[in-house]
Structure 1
């Protein structure tokens, strides 16, 4: 009996360890957790201060609620890059919020005037997004304040107290934000690097599941497509974590917190990411059950390095293991390639870990740097956005202007229809019509957002009714549930907007109960008004100055391929002429950001895409599958481009005398031109109206042939410089990926 208990305890421990790693990986740097905690703390502080103040002044609870809502959204919508900028924007919210509350309160008794005022506020809130994160925050502050003043039926006699509540709410948000921002930036970097290692460990566990505790070995020959998708998803998560560290480097002076410069740290992060990708690529098609003992020991050493807190002795031991295995892996067989890839990953992640360990030591010693934030690059406003390819006079309008006009039309119609449904709750329809445009730019995104909002509202009403029946009228419990709903709403909003709507709807049920106005009919009315508003928003997006998702995706693909072409040229030039001190990591990161923008834009087109093959499918289904396939291919191009970047970095640090021979250089240039031709052909296809693959099939024959640069490596691989070998393989992968793509967007 003792043995099963031990096994059960071990199983529970493994489950908890995997859960902890999932939480780290799914929220790199705990940024979502900190944001939700900050928003919730702001609400609690503001609510406590305002309840005491309003009671002392003899004002109703609605005054305290308005100030608390303003405080909560002041904490959430501020997204300036610098700490000083976030504090300044938070403080400035008091101005538009006060103006909006004043206008809403004064116009409230005049129904038509209040409706027009609301539409003007919504139009302005969208229009000012062109001024960047600060414009977005101030516009949302005005919108929220106007809406909740209407929702709480503010009276003119309460106006001085309402303005006082706004000031107290913003002051609470400033106080909590200042306290949260006092945390040393090194702690954030430590959490981000821990998330990077956890993401890398997820990748390793996917390609070598036998070595992972609690994992079941895969069945050979089955679930191969699912396994490839899992690897791709985890590599994407690893890439996103690396980009978050790059964002940290943009906001902070690295040398003030760690022992290396920002460029050095950026290169180490890139090397760790690319080394992990190389391990996954080397293990492609391998059977984990047939790996030899040296390979198994190398993977065990990599897992030690990727552990959350490996000791210095463990790191040294891991390096000794892979160094010994690498010395014996002199062949070009698959296991030797895997061992060399794993050894490089061990060294790369060890280098990152030592930087993070230095940050931890400084934090433990109580050191704090007074160095200012890193200079924030000027963010391009929507006014400077590249012109759309769509036809029509409105193509000259800026995106914020176009969206503001759509919002004005949609909310005007929603106001009329909402009042027809319910003269007392019309604003729910207006709110839904507005919210579907928040954070969206294309028709596909708006359709997805509207669907999430409707589903979240319906499920939230059901949960709210059940919870209200269980709780009854118990103010302390209702307030506690409101706080819990706020935390989960803002913690999960980045996962799915529908989860935000769900928890906000449950929150409203508790709020109605607290105000003594709860009824099932009111919540049912919210569903109807939400559906009306979402439908109006979708209609406006499709027929009023539309921004088509497919055209946006084509633009993003074009931007990505342009960045890829630039990177290919820079990297091959570095390999052909080694010893030139050139930093290629920023160019690689620009490519990663372009891919990230493409993935976001293409997401609505991939809804419903399937990997199943069929001879008779609808055109829309073909387009979805083709878009999903294109994104996957470009993700593969991105990983090959990372390998090419590594070749350029290695060559840049090499001695100029190590330059390849003239025939090798000519072969490299020829390979570069071949890949660029494939990329150019793909760009021309994507740019075509309809995006079909006609005229692109000629490159498929080329992709099946052996290129001069590939033949070069197969003929004499051992006598080529390391950078040249890496570049040749990367160019070959890029050439095949680009040339074999069929596109229909």
Structure 2
């Protein structure tokens, strides 16, 4: 293999690992596709043997496919139980749909009722969501396939066989030991870390992994996105720790592994921060220094796909020697120390997870966090309600009643009204294909809570449908009436749709539309006019959904973002308090990783909520939202450093902490930074024009920074510098949301 081909393959493989940590999307798509293939094989054989119509096999196969995809319980036993339970609402929905289809308007009313119920039951958590979607899918496809009452026994039998196929494949996939999943996730952690290193270091350093950019430094946005992927991968490992007993698979406890993962993530972030260019200094110049280049090579050797024990030992020796020689406080010495810590942190993770123990206990998770079941937020009162404009007194009572509704109830009401209107408008467009409009009006509310998310989902659905129609027509012309090829394309479309659904919902819609074109051809009802109707009906349904979201019990995206900012700042305040307490009172042994992970989760939720604002038509809103997210991401990195200081102090000698005036200065400085950071609430809401910067020359933090470093413990130095970074990071915020 040539020198130019091998690096390209390595980059492609690493991209797949980084973009799909733990191969969870790949496994989910593979499971769904295999379920469909098994169900189709069994049901087509059965229908031919019994002389039934192919539509009977299609219904059971679709129920099997969605039974595989929509079940998201946290435990293996829970997923199997939910999959089995789907048979009941699906069989009931098929029966009701088939009977009501003979009575015109009653079928429409029944469809709206099923959609309302499918959304309302989401309050019962993942199981409620799965059972509701099972009833919706069965009702819809019974209408789509024009089932008759005489087919009800065969249709119910098809549903039962489809669910049995889904159970069989799910059990086979769950048989894999959880230790293998942990190994894949930690491999993704190393790949994400290596992606960060490749961005911050030039490619002309000998031995560096080529990334296709020569020696040009990466943009700050690219580094930020790479660090975000690294943080998301670390959170996925935390989720694994929530669902499994770590000691059953590795040689350490879950608490110890969680700490090692956090240390590896934070060390990589610190290396990226240390490598940022100073005024008049380029990263390439810094990295070309022999000592820096050597430690970066050691970092890369540790982060490779399959480092050997000798590789790890040599890397540790290299960074240990370099660190011993880096006694100055200039930037290249800081980079060497950060690289050394990165190597040690990733080696610590690799030692305990490279060969995760595959034991029988891994089949069933034991330690599981309670699943949220759609608990409603506290009722909004007049003095806590937030809006872009004041609420008139005569409307406050009604508004308060709406705010007290469960989120699932609010969405169910929106769905019921939107689908009712979509039914009427859809029948005006096409009396035979009206259900596409209803489907679109329903789907734009799936997995969304705010107006911005619904608008984004509707846009993706329209674009995906139009693109899918063009691709479907082209493929139909090429394939013709060759059933084996059509079935193969249906399987390919299913895999691509469910593999890419989390990347962009429009890709799911695109491949499902192509699938429908193949399905129409298989049923002998394909025509370009039918696909054109799908575009029209989709546009009608999406428009109705957007209108309902904006005018019927709306949940404003800006309000949601402000609430997420409040939650993030609350978590940040806890990090500051707990970390500084540990620094001032060392030796406490307190575990600060959980509070850091709560902060990361809050940031992730904020990023998700703010995404629709980042795509809005107003350029000022886009810039303001992007700036806010960048600022809080910078605060997150500084908070990680603060947590590290608290972790260092937690295991230190109780006598090593600051005392007297120094301790009071650290506490006062932390209080000042905390108060200043909390002022971000007012800045974000537009109540305050500027961030309250506490770091004047005479501030307590500045006083501590001015002291002789020999007076301070390592934990104290790290903590004060982190507070300094946190305050300056937050000070970048100037734009309200």
- TM-score normalised per structure 2: 0.95
SS in 2 for 1:385: coil
* Cα drift, residue 720 of structure 1: 1.5
Indicate yes or no: 2:410 matched with 1:412: no
Residue 582 of structure 2 is matched in structure 1 by 574
Q: How many angstroms apart in 2 are the aligned matches of 1:64 and 1:185?
A: 34
Q: Does the CA-based 8 Å contact 1:382-1:399 persist in structure 2?
A: yes
Residue 325 of structure 1 is matched in structure 2 by 322
Query: Where does 1:303-702 land on structure 2 (aligned, <5 Å)?
Result: 303-359=300-356, 362-363=357-358, 367-369=359-361, 372-387=364-379, 389-390=385-386, 392=399, 393-607=401-615, 620-686=618-684, 688=685, 691=686, 693-694=688-689, 696=690, 699-700=692-693, 702=694
SS in 1 for 2:354: helix
Describe the superposition over 1:213-234 as per-residue Cα deviations: whole angstroms up to 9, x where unpaired: 32356677xxx7x710000000
Q: How many angstroms apart in 2 are the aligned matches of 1:314 and 1:627?
A: 44
* Cα drift, residue 356 of structure 1: 1.3
Residue 396 of structure 2 is matched in structure 1 by none
SS in 2 for 1:209: coil
Residue 702 of structure 2 is matched in structure 1 by 710
Q: Does the CA-based 8 Å contact 1:294-1:325 persist in structure 2?
A: yes
Q: How many angstroms apart in 2 are the aligned matches of 1:298 and 1:621?
A: 43
What's the C-alpha RMSD, in Å, of the aligned pairs?
1.5
Indicate yes or no: 2:4 matched with 1:11: yes
Q: Does the CA-based 8 Å contact 1:90-1:174 persist in structure 2?
A: yes
Q: Which of residues 27, 34, 59 is equivalent to 2:20?
A: 27
Q: How many angstroms apart in 2 are the aligned matches of 1:530 and 1:25?
A: 34
Q: Which of residues 247, 252, 256 is equivalent to 1:255?
A: 247
Q: Does the CA-based 8 Å contact 1:568-1:641 persist in structure 2?
A: yes
Residue 616 of structure 1 is matched in structure 2 by none
Q: How many angstroms apart in 1 are the aligned matches of 2:363 and 2:703?
A: 53
CA distance change for structure 1 residues 736 and 705 in 2, over 3 Å: closer, same or farther?
Answer: farther
Residue 213 of structure 1 is matched in structure 2 by 209
* Cα drift, residue 412 of structure 1: 0.2
Q: Does the CA-based 8 Å contact 1:658-1:721 persist in structure 2?
A: yes
* Cα drift, residue 329 of structure 1: 0.4
Q: How many angstroms apart in 1 are the aligned matches of 2:536 and 2:111?
A: 20
Q: Does the CA-based 8 Å contact 2:83-2:167 persist in structure 1?
A: yes
* Cα drift, residue 706 of structure 1: 6.2
* Cα drift, residue 671 of structure 1: 1.5
Q: How many angstroms apart in 1 are the aligned matches of 2:310 and 2:360?
A: 28
SS in 2 for 1:674: helix
* Cα drift, residue 709 of structure 1: 2.1
Describe the superposition over 1:627-646 as per-residue Cα deviations: whole angstroms up to 9, x where unpaired: 11011100010111011001
Describe the superposition over 1:375-400 as per-residue Cα deviations: whole angstroms up to 9, x where unpaired: 32223332333445356131111111
Q: Which runs of 4+ in 1 moved over 3 A?
A: 215-220, 386-391, 702-707
Which deviates the most, 491-500 or 709-718?
Answer: 709-718
5+ residue gaps, structure 2 = 392-398
Q: How many angstroms apart in 2 are the aligned matches of 1:711 and 1:198?
A: 41
Which deviates the most, 389-398 or 164-173?
Answer: 389-398
Q: Does the CA-based 8 Å contact 2:696-2:702 persist in structure 1?
A: no
Query: Where does 1:55-70 land on structure 2 (aligned, <5 Å)?
Result: 55-70=48-63
Q: Which of residues 271, 277, 282 is equivalent to 2:274?
A: 282
* Cα drift, residue 531 of structure 1: 0.2
Query: Where does 1:97-116 land on structure 2 (aligned, <5 Å)?
Result: 97-116=90-109
Q: Does the CA-based 8 Å contact 1:703-1:739 persist in structure 2?
A: no
SS in 2 for 1:358: coil
Q: How many angstroms apart in 2 are the aligned matches of 1:552 and 1:510?
A: 41
Query: Where does 1:32-111 land on structure 2 (aligned, <5 Å)?
Result: 32-111=25-104
SS in 2 for 1:715: coil
CA distance change for structure 1 residues 455 and 720 in 2, over 3 Å: closer, same or farther?
Answer: same
**How many residues get paired?**
713
Q: Which of residues 157, 161, 171 is equivalent to 1:168?
A: 161
Q: How many angstroms apart in 2 are the aligned matches of 1:705 and 1:189?
A: 48
Q: How many angstroms apart in 2 are the aligned matches of 1:117 and 1:110?
A: 11
Q: Does the CA-based 8 Å contact 2:178-2:362 persist in structure 1?
A: no
* Cα drift, residue 325 of structure 1: 0.1
Describe the superposition over 1:682-713 as per-residue Cα deviations: whole angstroms up to 9, x where unpaired: 12333x4xx3542x35x24x446463323423
Q: How many angstroms apart in 2 are the aligned matches of 1:707 and 1:495?
A: 46
Q: Does the CA-based 8 Å contact 1:703-1:740 persist in structure 2?
A: no
Describe the superposition over 1:270-325 as per-residue Cα deviations: whole angstroms up to 9, x where unpaired: 00000000000000114223431011000000000000110001100000000000
Q: Does the CA-based 8 Å contact 1:97-1:142 persist in structure 2?
A: yes
Residue 716 of structure 2 is matched in structure 1 by 724
Q: How many angstroms apart in 1 are the aligned matches of 2:323 and 2:284?
A: 19
Residue 617 of structure 1 is matched in structure 2 by none
Q: How many angstroms apart in 1 are the aligned matches of 2:499 and 2:519?
A: 20
Which deviates the most, 493-502 or 285-294?
Answer: 285-294
SS in 1 for 2:74: coil
Q: How many angstroms apart in 1 are the aligned matches of 2:130 and 2:312?
A: 45
Q: How many angstroms apart in 2 are the aligned matches of 1:535 and 1:217?
A: 43
CA distance change for structure 1 residues 508 and 68 in 2, over 3 Å: closer, same or farther?
Answer: same
Q: How many angstroms apart in 1 are the aligned matches of 2:593 and 2:555?
A: 33
CA distance change for structure 1 residues 386 and 201 in 2, over 3 Å: closer, same or farther?
Answer: farther
* Cα drift, residue 735 of structure 1: 1.0
Q: Does the CA-based 8 Å contact 1:253-1:371 persist in structure 2?
A: no
5+ residue gaps, structure 1 = 1-5, 610-619
Residue 242 of structure 1 is matched in structure 2 by 234
Q: How many angstroms apart in 2 are the aligned matches of 1:713 and 1:269?
A: 30
